[in-house]
Structure 1
Amino acid sequence: MAPTPLLGSRTLDRQTARTLPPGPRWPTLAQTVLFASHRRTFFPRMRAKYGDVFTIRLVPSSRVCVVLSRPDHIREVFGSPPAVMHAGEGNMVLEPIMGSHSLLLLDDEDHVRMRRQLMPAFSGQALRGYAGMVHELARADVAKWPVGTPFKVHERMRNLTLEIILQVIFGVTDTDRLNMLRPLLDKIVSVSPVIMLGGFYPALLRIRPWRTYLTTQRQVDEILYDEIARRRGNLAGRNDVLSRLLAAGNWTDEELRDQLVTLLLAGHETTATALAWTFHELARRPEELAFGQRAADADADDELEAIVKEAMRLHPVVYQVGRRLTETADVAGYRLPRGTTIMAAIGLVHRDGEHFPMPMDFRPHRFLSDDPPAPGTWIPFGGGARRCIGAGFSLMEGTEILRAALAAYDFEAPDPKPEPAQAKNVTLVPRRGSVVRVTPR
């Protein structure tokens, strides 16, 4: 099926333009720069000026993006037939990196088939099987943390979540192969927005730095394809994600490779960043730190998970998710034409006082009360048929890492001021790396 053409400068007529939600008339490049680097302040300002629904224009082709900030409007999008709201087409910028078979890039029957094959590896039973491995890796890493000396916990979290992906998801335990993969995968994960432009402008992939990135990618692919070949027919006693996928589905090597790279990119930086924000808040708040330590000592998973959830609410790692309309549709009270990009602004919902009283406060207990946040207001993993398939794994991973760290250390922040967020690729990370100091309990 041919992709849906973007609604933009070449396909938007004046009459249709008048019916779109209001928005800034600044040059497309200016809006793109603000969106790419300052979305956390850009979106709230646009909402304050234009209302709950507004339009921005981004490269390429001055594409029309309608931004939604109300849960009821976002539910319309998440609840719409996937054939009308294509998420895969909204992510095509990622194709040179993740591959054409990536779950994030597929739509319609292809997405349903691939998701069905992936589900057994992320079932509740499977997650319980991974938890022990995650906890042991977390305990071993936490034991090496510098005591009494400030360090950037975000960097530590990136290293730890990468190790978890290598051993728990990829199933690689050979020391030599781990040493070979770590630096290569770190380069893959650190993809910049400049590299991602190759998804819109394929000609760029023939020159540096895009060509250099693809060279690294080919080196990783060679190792992954070799690992897949070794694993086929040799699954006895293995319960890593790759082995479960091979056992549960009928995969080509290319399909498996694309899913593994997707899990690497979607599940590495996001979880590491969520945990960095979590430790940043706990180190600044002695009462919440003590609450977390009691939860770790008592193995109170719900309470540990609530701490991670609140960090994800206050500091959404992914600020928005997109869909592309494959046909004209009514959304948020507007008749929007085919090709429109719809953006559900997770960050605007999470900091709305209507849904979260005292939204700027870090209050994990809001997820444990008799009146928890309403459905559709906490959406760090998206929603509907396209909700992140790794959501359960991410929360389990965060809970286990938090348990290991809080059982071992007291935390304090050398600088108690809130740390600003900085855009990195599609994520919002702590600008200073979330510096903390730990001492043994």
Structure 2
Amino acid sequence: MNRTELRFALQLIGFLDAVGDFEDGLVKLRDRRWLVWHPDVMAALFRHDRALRHPPSRTLSPLLGNRSVLWLDGEEHTAYRRTLAPVLRGSRYHDLIGEMVERSLAELPSGDPVSLAGWTRKLTLRIMGRIIFGVDDDELLTAFTRWLDRRLGSRVRTLAHRCFTPGTTRFDPHLDRLLLQRARSAEPPALAACLPPDDLRDQIVSLLFAGHETTASATAWTVYWIDRTPGLAEQLLTDETLLDATITESLRLSPPATLAGNRMSDDGMVITPSIYLAHRRAATYENPHTFDPSRKPPPPGAFFPFGGGVRHCPGKDLALTEIRMIVTALLRHRRIRLNAPRSCTPQLRGAAMAPPPSLAMVATCRR
């Protein structure tokens, strides 16, 4: 690993900020590996995505498994997405999401600070748990959270696993057995009935992780930017169009994933698209570091918070539904104030970018 790739691995956000002004929108990480974010390159890359391979993440594949739908290719990947698409359709879950949001709001201590990212993470995991298992099981989801935090909660620990124990899994056999038992006993057994038994563990863990982590981060960042924009919270109570624009701008400036996976050509060239840099490119966006919900729609290849090409997130509709419903309920039923730490440096969990745990939310009931 050369110096450039080491900086990319150890100090991802700092590295991205340092190269963000490169006008050609690409930087060489090492021989035959490039980081790219120019919109023309991105649009072309996504158009030809089916012809490329999608190698597993060295950080996440030891957690999610090599059979995760996130790394499958070709007809196998297409078949899995076709199976999972109906399960992740947001319109199916309005009542479920509303129930989970109401429950989580009721648990918010009035006037006492709670971690914003921690609260959204617990809520979105509950929603995904109900979708997969058909029942509430906070004990199982708490165990899943502890397992995930031990492996992704510290970037140093994450990189140590990646660099010093390459190729080894970081599964928890006991947790895996509990997840599989719960999925197989679900009524109806939505996943267990339609996925190959040997792949079930990897798909459950992938859905639990990807289905809640980025949605939680996107929701927390949206609340953060609303709090930072005077008067916006009150406007959003009466303007649904403005809410969609606010979510879009939050996804632009604070995308829940900094990178959009790896692509590999037949001759071994690896290309890593940077969502973070594409969304902050000065040649594309005027005042790119300013939060502005009134922005005009960007050109193709310049905005892809949920990835692109054949790897675009199949849960996009569900995620947007959750973000809208959570933010709306928060604003209608609570007055929100954030106690921001002196340095609001994003926390990286893999390539996911969340507000730091120290960003506290104080919620009080509206009168």
Common fold by TM > 0.5: yes
In the TM superposition, residue 288 of structure 1 has moved relative to its aligned partner by 1.5
In the TM superposition, residue 397 of structure 1 has moved relative to its aligned partner by 1.0
Matched positions, count: 362
Which structure 2 residues correspond to residues 171-320 of structure 1 after superposition, within 5 A? 171-173=134-136, 178-190=137-149, 191-192=151-152, 194-195=157-158, 205=168, 213-214=170-171, 217-231=172-186, 234-235=187-188, 243=190, 245=191, 249=194, 251-295=195-239, 300=240, 302-320=241-259
* Residue 100 in structure 1 maps to residue 51 in structure 2: no
Q: Distance in 2 between matches of 1:259 and 1:182?
A: 16
Q: Which has the larger radius of gyration?
A: 1
| 8 Å contact from structure 2 (residues 59, 350) kept in 1 | no
Match of 2:262 among 318, 323, 337: 323
Give, as a single letter, the amino acid of the residue that structure 1 aligns with 2:21.
Answer: A
| 8 Å contact from structure 1 (residues 68, 343) kept in 2 | yes
Residue 15 of structure 1 corresponds to none
Residue 14 of structure 1 corresponds to none
Give, as a single letter, the amino acid of the residue that structure 2 aligns with 1:341.
Answer: V
Give, as a single letter, the amino acid of the residue that structure 1 aligns with 2:78.
Answer: V
| 8 Å contact from structure 2 (residues 20, 281) kept in 1 | no
Note the alpha carbon deviations across 1:365-413, whole angstroms, 9 max, x for none.
33xxxx4223332201111111111111111111111111111122223
Match of 1:48 among 8, 17, 21: 21
C-alpha RMSD of the superposition = 2.6
1:150 and 1:187, CA in 2 relative to 1: closer, same or farther beyond 3 A? closer
Residue 123 of structure 2 corresponds to 160
Match of 1:365 among 290, 294, 297: 294
| 8 Å contact from structure 2 (residues 62, 167) kept in 1 | no
1:228 and 1:160, CA in 2 relative to 1: closer, same or farther beyond 3 A? closer
Runs (5+) with no aligned partner, structure 1: 1-27, 58-62, 236-241, 328-337
Match of 2:41 among 56, 61, 73: 73
Q: Distance in 2 between matches of 1:269 and 1:228?
A: 20
* Residue 345 in structure 1 maps to residue 274 in structure 2: yes
* Residue 149 in structure 1 maps to residue 107 in structure 2: no
1:132 and 1:356, CA in 2 relative to 1: closer, same or farther beyond 3 A? farther
Note the alpha carbon deviations across 1:328-375, whole angstroms, 9 max, x for none.
xxxxxxxxxx21210111111111233333322222233xxxx42233
Q: Distance in 2 between matches of 1:50 and 1:406?
A: 40
Give, as a single letter, the amino acid of the residue that structure 1 aligns with 2:306.
Answer: F
Residue 86 of structure 1 corresponds to 53
1:377 and 1:433, CA in 2 relative to 1: closer, same or farther beyond 3 A? farther
Residue 346 of structure 2 corresponds to 421
Match of 1:377 among 302, 320, 328: 302
Given the two structures, how large is their TM-score scaled by the length of structure 2?
0.88
1:69 and 1:324, CA in 2 relative to 1: closer, same or farther beyond 3 A? closer
Runs (5+) with no aligned partner, structure 2: none
Partner secondary structure for residue 262 of structure 2: strand
In the TM superposition, residue 421 of structure 1 has moved relative to its aligned partner by 1.9
Give, as a single letter, the amino acid of the residue that structure 2 aligns with 1:379.
Answer: F
In the TM superposition, residue 184 of structure 1 has moved relative to its aligned partner by 1.5
Partner secondary structure for residue 335 of structure 2: strand
Give, as a single letter, the amino acid of the residue that structure 1 aligns with 2:88.
Answer: F
Match of 1:136 among 87, 99, 121: 99
* Residue 392 in structure 1 maps to residue 282 in structure 2: no
In the TM superposition, residue 324 of structure 1 has moved relative to its aligned partner by 3.5
Give, as a single letter, the amino acid of the residue that structure 2 aligns with 1:163.
Answer: R
| 8 Å contact from structure 1 (residues 277, 434) kept in 2 | no
Q: Distance in 1 between matches of 2:59 and 2:116?
A: 30
| 8 Å contact from structure 1 (residues 102, 259) kept in 2 | yes
Partner secondary structure for residue 70 of structure 2: helix
Q: Distance in 1 between matches of 2:307 and 2:254?
A: 15
Matched residues, percent identical?
Answer: 28
Partner secondary structure for residue 322 of structure 1: coil
Given the two structures, how large is their TM-score scaled by the length of structure 1?
0.74
| 8 Å contact from structure 1 (residues 305, 395) kept in 2 | no
Q: Distance in 2 between matches of 1:39 and 1:50?
A: 19
Structure ranking higher on relative contact order (CA contacts 8 Å, 6+ apart): 2
| 8 Å contact from structure 2 (residues 218, 256) kept in 1 | yes
